[in-house]
Amino acid sequence: MVKKVRVGIVFGGRSIEHEVSILSARSIIEALDKDKYELVLIGIDKEGGWHLQEDSAAHLLGKELKQITQHKDKEPLSIVPQRSEGTLVHASSGKSPAIDVVFPVLHGPYGEDGTIQGLLKMARIPFIGAGVLASAAGMDKEIMKRLFKEAGLPTARFITVRRHKRDCYCFKDVVSQVGLPFFVKPANAGSSVGVSKVKTEEDFLKAMNEAFSYDHKILIEEYIVGREIECSVLGNEDPMASLPGELIPQHEFYSYEAKYLDEQGAQFVIPARLETHWQHQIQELAIRAFQAICCEGMARVDFFLTPDGKLFVNEINTIPGFTKISMYPKMWEVSGLPYGELLDRLIQLALERDNQDKQVQTSHQIGS
């Protein structure tokens, strides 16, 4: 009998996207082939505590996002680094379920920003998705955009504002640099949390306060009029891109509420109705963006395509939404890679990277 791969699903977290993470985890738990994989469910509460969950997705099946709750187990968990292979996720009672690979289904800070990736790497536990560098760079929109520009990728104009310098930026100066209207957003957040579209000076003051309530650094970004196109990327050294999809917001812009609380918040066209040359260019730029931040495993790259034929890379998401109706898996589905097989491939990529990491020498004999 073939030994099952033991997959740790880590979800929840100290993030404003806590509930969204649970939605993604629920879909992954339901879709993973139980004949191939044994699941260990690890929930992180909003205070940062780790808890071993019951071996079932039943407690994640709330009908609406705002109704989903995460049940805390009585036994807190900790990661215990070992001197050899076989690092364990260790319960206080002494239970030690060995984990072959971890799927960090954590959106936003303390999950998508390199923090858990660094913890898992130090503990020698293979994990799915981007490593420490790409996770951190992809989460920080300023660093991400600077790397894109360095790689020659077309990006919108932006201004970075740090909290202690906020009084140095007046509305008129901002308009002169990025135009009007413009967006104000936290540098380190996802799911459009804290994002505001600014049309007036009064809007500007409110938007600054809103964005600074989520981060110490914010971005003021040019408003690009155009179609919102997305593309999924999969792989390690030689990544491939899916067929692109199009998101058509039904509101002023695609806000958090439109994404998760409003069933009519957006329309999705997958694959996007694009001429072949645009499809190929988007796929090429998606792979270049993926490589610009040294990404591995998976990412979703978002674009704007303007009416006059200009293409802009907006951002990269290293742990995209993973429900069955999320854009990342849906784009792979129309590209010929079904949800279950996509999960298989992600696990394989994580284990391949771990095997490569083991070949790297970590010590040096002085005088040899």
Give the tens place of pLDDT for each residue, 126-176.
Answer: 999 999 999 999 999 999 999 999 999 999 999 999 999 988 899 999 999
Q: What are phi and psi of 281, to 5 degrees?
A: -65, -40
Q: How many CB atoms lie within 10 A of CB 124?
A: 17
DSSP-derived letter for residue 214 is T
Q: What is the pLDDT of residue 87?
A: 52
* Strand ranges for 192-296 from DSSP E: 196-198, 217-222, 227-235, 240-241, 245-249, 266-269
Please state, in angstroms and as integers, the Cα–Cα distance from residue 326 to each residue in 70, 189, 212, 319, following that order: 21, 18, 28, 12
What average pLDDT does the structure give for the chain? 85
Mean pLDDT of 314-339: 93
Q: Check: CB of residue 13 under 8 Å from CB of residue 115.
A: no
pLDDT above 70 covers a percentage of the chain that reads: 81
pTM, two decimals, is 0.88
Q: Which of 160-169, 225-234, 260-269 has the highest mean pLDDT?
A: 225-234
Q: Is the dihedral of CA 217, 224, 235, 20 positive or negative?
A: positive
Tens-digit pLDDT profile for residues 62-86: 544 444 455 554 566 777 776 555 4
89-114 tens-digit pLDDT: 555 666 666 789 999 999 888 889 99
Query: For 277, phi and psi rounded to 5 degrees?
Result: -65, -35
The full set of domains in the chain, from first to last, is 5-127 (3.40.50.20), 157-222 (3.30.1490.20), 227-356 (3.30.470.20)
What's the start-to-end Cα distance of the chain, in Å?
45
Q: How far apart are CA 70 and CA 92, in angstroms?
A: 20
Q: What digits encode the pLDDT tens for the residues 26-63?
A: 899 999 999 999 998 888 888 888 877 764 444 454 54
- Distance separating alpha carbons of residues 256 and 228, to the nearest angstrom: 16
Query: Could you give the 3-state DSSP secondary structure of residue 282?
Result: helix
